[in-house]
Amino acid sequence: MNPFDPYFKRIRDYESALLNSGRRVQVWSARPSDNGNDIATQFTSPLILKENTAVELGGPRTAGSTFIIWTEDVSLISNGRITLVGPDLAEAAEGILPFGQVTLVGGPALSNEIQPRLAREHYAAERVPGYMVRSTGGRIWSRVSDKALGDGFSLDFLGTTIISHLLASMSAITVAEILFVTSCVEDVQNLEKIGVQVRKLSHELRRERIKQTADGEYQCESNISCDVCPDIEVCSEIRKILVLRKKSE
C-alpha cells in the first residue's frame, strides 16, 4: 500500500467534520479547456510589497498549513475538484486569512522516486503573476496583489492553475484535486496536525533517496531551491550527522 494512502481518508474525515459543523463550502471544477500552457506562470515568484498587498494568506499573524499527498489509486481523488472551506479572497476581512492548502495527486505510475520532482513542480505551479509565496516548509505565507485581486484573482483560479500545471508537466499524474481552508485559525491548525505527520513521512522517504558520496558529501536528487524546499530541516540534520561521522574517522 502507498505510504500516503491512509492520509487520504484522514483528509476526507476532516472535510466531513467541517461540513457537519456548518462551515461554508464552495466546490468548483478545473475547466477542461485549461491546461498548463494556457495559464501563465513565472520563472520566479513575483515580489509583492506590503503596500501593494490586497490579501495575506497564512503567515505570522495567523495560521498556515500546506502539504501534498500522492497515490497510485486514482479512485481516492475527485479529478479536477477544487474545494474551498471558508471565504474567498475578495471577502477577506482586514486583508488577512488563515490558510490551509492540500494538493492531492494520483496516477498508476507514481512511486517514491517522484517526490523531488513533485515538490519542484508544485512550487512552480504557484508562481502565478500577482501571487507571491513568501515561505513554505509546511506553514505557508503568501500574498495576493491589489492588481491581481482587482482583476479577479480567486482561489478557484489558483486551484485551477496548480492542478493544470501538475497534469501538464508530469505525465505520471493523471488525476489531481485541491483543498483550500480559510474558515478560521482552529480549522487550519487541525489541518496542520495532519500536515505534520505527512511531512514527517516525506522526510523519511527523502532520507532514503539521499546518498552519501565517497568524500563524505551527499547528493540530493531534488532541483528545488533550498530556500523553499520543505525538506530543508532534513538536509540540515543529515549534514550535521555527516560532519560528526567525518570527525570520528
Please state, in angstroms and rounded to a whole number, the distance separating the CA atoms of residues 6 and 184. 25
What pLDDT is stored for residue 14 in this prediction? Answer: 98
What pLDDT is stored for residue 46 in this prediction? Answer: 76
What pLDDT is stored for residue 189 in this prediction? Answer: 97
DSSP designation for 90: G
CA distances from 65 to 31, 58, 141, 212 (A): 26, 8, 9, 31
Rounding to the nearest 10 degrees, give the CA dihedral for residues 143, 70, 118, 197.
60
- Collapsing DSSP to helix, strand or coil, 91 comes out as helix
Q: Which helix (H) or strand (E) holds 240?
A: helix 232-248
In tens digits, what is the pLDDT along the chain, a chain of 249 residues?
789 999 999 999 999 999 999 999 999 998 654 444 455 555 566 789 999 999 999 999 999 999 999 999 999 999 999 999 999 999 998 899 999 999 999 999 998 888 888 988 988 898 999 999 976 667 899 999 999 999 999 999 999 999 999 999 999 999 999 999 999 999 999 999 999 999 999 888 877 766 544 444 555 555 445 554 555 555 655 555 555 555 665
Q: Would you list the domain boundaries of the chain? A: 5-209
CATH class of segment(s) 5-209: alpha beta
CA distances from 18 to 22, 62, 85, 159 (A): 7, 19, 8, 20
Give the count of beta carbons closer than 10 Å to the beta carbon of residue 174: 16
Among candidate residues 140, 170, 169, 167, the one with its CA nearest the CA of residue 155: 140
Please state, in angstroms and rounded to a whole number, the distance separating the CA atoms of residues 152 and 35. 19
Burial of 165 (0-12, 13-18, 19+ CB in 10 A): buried
**pTM for the whole structure:** 0.82
What pLDDT is stored for residue 2 in this prediction? Answer: 87
